[in-house]
Structure 1
Amino acid sequence: MSLQRKALFCLPLLLPAALTFPAAAQDGYTLEQVVVFSRHGLRAPLASPSSALGKVTPDAWPQWDTPSSYLTTRGGVLEAYFGHYFSEWLVDNRLLAADTCPTDKDVSFYANSLQRTISTAQYFAVGAFPGCLVPVVHKEKLGTMDATFNPIIRNDSATFKQQAIDSINQKAGEGGVKGLNERLKPVYQQMAEIIRYKDSANCKQDKQCDLMAQETDVKIEAGKEPGVVGPLRTGTSIADAFILQYYEGTPINKIGWGRIKDEKQLADLVSIKEYYNSVVFSAPVVAKAVSANLVKALAGSFGEQQPKFTFLVGHDSNVASLFSALGVKPYHLPHQLETTPIGGKVVFQRWRDNASNKALLKVEYVYQSTEQLATLAPLNRANPPQRVTLALSECPTNDKGFCPFENFEKITNALTQ
Structure 2
Amino acid sequence: MSIRVFTVVLVASLLAALAPASAEILPTPPGWQIERAILVNRHGVRSPTEPNEQLDRYSATPWPTWPVEPGFLSPRGEELLRLMGTYYRVLYGGRGLVQADDCPTVGTVAAWTDLSQRTRTSGAALLAGMYPRCANLPLRNQANFTVPDPLFNPQPTASCPMDLAANRAAVLSRLGGSFASIGRDYAASISMMQSVLCPAAATKGAGGGSCGEAGMPTSIVSGTEDGVRLRGPIGYASTAAENFLMQSADGMPKDQVAWGRLAHDATLRELLTLHQLDQDLTQKTKPIAQQRGSNLLSLIGSILVNGHNFPGHAATGQPVRLGFLVGHESNIHNVAALLDLTWQIPGFLPGEASPGGALAFEQFREVRSEKRYVRIAYYTQTLDEMRRRAPLNYRDPPGMVQVALPACSADLVNNACPLESFLKIVKAAVDPGCVTATAGNY
Pairwise same-fold verdict (TM > 0.5): yes
| Residue aligned with 1:23, SS | helix
Q: Which residue of 2 aligns with 1:145?
A: 148
* AA at the equivalent of 1:321: N
1:283 Cα deviation from its structure 2 partner? 0.5
Q: Does 1:319 align with 2:321?
A: no
1:307 Cα deviation from its structure 2 partner? 0.9
Q: Which residue of 2 aligns with 1:29?
A: 32
For residue 243 of structure 1, the aligned residue among 240, 245, 249 is 245
* AA at the equivalent of 2:420: E
Q: Which residue of 2 aligns with 1:17?
A: none
The answer to whether the 8 Å contact 2:37/2:323 transfers is yes
The change in CA–CA distance for 1:161 and 1:145 in structure 2 (over 3 A counts) is closer
Q: Distance in 2 between matches of 1:278 and 1:359?
A: 32
Q: Distance in 2 between matches of 1:222 and 1:113?
A: 14
The change in CA–CA distance for 1:65 and 1:142 in structure 2 (over 3 A counts) is farther
1:333 Cα deviation from its structure 2 partner? 2.6
| Residue aligned with 1:285, SS | helix
Q: Does 1:393 align with 2:395?
A: no
1:151 Cα deviation from its structure 2 partner? 5.2
| Residue aligned with 2:259, SS | coil
Q: Distance in 2 between matches of 1:135 and 1:210?
A: 44
| Residue aligned with 2:39, SS | strand
Q: Which residue of 2 aligns with 1:310?
A: 323
Q: Which residue of 1 aligns with 2:231?
A: 229
* AA at the equivalent of 1:413: K
For residue 46 of structure 1, the aligned residue among 44, 49, 56 is 49
Q: Which residue of 1 aligns with 2:380?
A: 367
Q: Which residue of 2 aligns with 1:8?
A: none
The change in CA–CA distance for 1:192 and 1:392 in structure 2 (over 3 A counts) is same
- Residues 11-410 of structure 1 correspond to what in structure 2 (within 5 A)? 23-24=11-12, 25-46=28-49, 48-51=51-54, 53-133=55-135, 134-141=137-144, 145-150=148-153, 154=157, 161-171=164-174, 173-174=175-176, 176-196=178-198, 199=202, 201-202=204-205, 205-206=208-209, 208=210, 211-219=213-221, 225-304=227-306, 305=308, 306-328=319-341, 330-337=342-349, 339-396=352-409, 398=412, 400-410=414-424
1:377 Cα deviation from its structure 2 partner? 1.0
The change in CA–CA distance for 1:144 and 1:373 in structure 2 (over 3 A counts) is farther
Unaligned runs of 5+ in 1: 1-20
1:188 Cα deviation from its structure 2 partner? 2.0
1:326 Cα deviation from its structure 2 partner? 2.4
The answer to whether the 8 Å contact 1:359/1:404 transfers is yes
1:162 Cα deviation from its structure 2 partner? 4.7
The change in CA–CA distance for 1:221 and 1:23 in structure 2 (over 3 A counts) is closer
* AA at the equivalent of 1:364: A
The change in CA–CA distance for 1:47 and 1:227 in structure 2 (over 3 A counts) is closer
Question: For the aligned residues, what is the CA RMSD?
Answer: 2.8
| Residue aligned with 1:96, SS | coil
* AA at the equivalent of 2:33: T
The answer to whether the 8 Å contact 2:298/2:426 transfers is yes
| Residue aligned with 2:424, SS | helix
Q: Distance in 2 between matches of 1:46 and 1:90?
A: 33
1:323 Cα deviation from its structure 2 partner? 1.0
* AA at the equivalent of 1:113: L
The answer to whether the 8 Å contact 2:375/2:415 transfers is yes
The answer to whether the 8 Å contact 1:395/1:403 transfers is yes
The alignment-based identity, stated in percent, is: 23
Scaled by the length of structure 2, the TM-score of the pair is 0.81
Q: Distance in 1 between matches of 2:207 and 2:85?
A: 48
1:220 Cα deviation from its structure 2 partner? 5.2
The change in CA–CA distance for 1:76 and 1:220 in structure 2 (over 3 A counts) is closer
Most deviating of 183-192 and 146-155:
146-155
The answer to whether the 8 Å contact 2:379/2:401 transfers is yes
| Residue aligned with 1:261, SS | coil
1:252 Cα deviation from its structure 2 partner? 3.2
Q: Distance in 2 between matches of 1:81 and 1:223?
A: 28
* AA at the equivalent of 2:138: P
The change in CA–CA distance for 1:142 and 1:246 in structure 2 (over 3 A counts) is farther
1:180 Cα deviation from its structure 2 partner? 1.2
Scaled by the length of structure 1, the TM-score of the pair is 0.86
The change in CA–CA distance for 1:393 and 1:168 in structure 2 (over 3 A counts) is same
Most deviating of 89-98 and 390-399:
390-399
Q: Distance in 1 between matches of 2:203 and 2:156?
A: 34
Q: Distance in 1 between matches of 2:287 and 2:50?
A: 32
Q: Distance in 2 between matches of 1:213 and 1:175?
A: 20
Aligned residue pairs, count: 393
Unaligned runs of 5+ in 2: 1-8, 13-27, 309-318, 433-442
1:209 Cα deviation from its structure 2 partner? 5.2
Most deviating of 218-227 and 294-303:
218-227
Q: Distance in 2 between matches of 1:136 and 1:126?
A: 10
Residue by residue over 1:162-203, the C-alpha shift from the partner in whole angstroms, topping out at 9 and shown as x without a partner, is 5422332244x4564332133223222222222227646559
1:358 Cα deviation from its structure 2 partner? 1.3
Most deviating of 83-92 and 220-229:
220-229
Q: Which residue of 1 aligns with 2:439?
A: none
The answer to whether the 8 Å contact 1:188/1:212 transfers is no
* AA at the equivalent of 2:418: P
* AA at the equivalent of 1:334: P
Most deviating of 294-303 and 222-231:
222-231
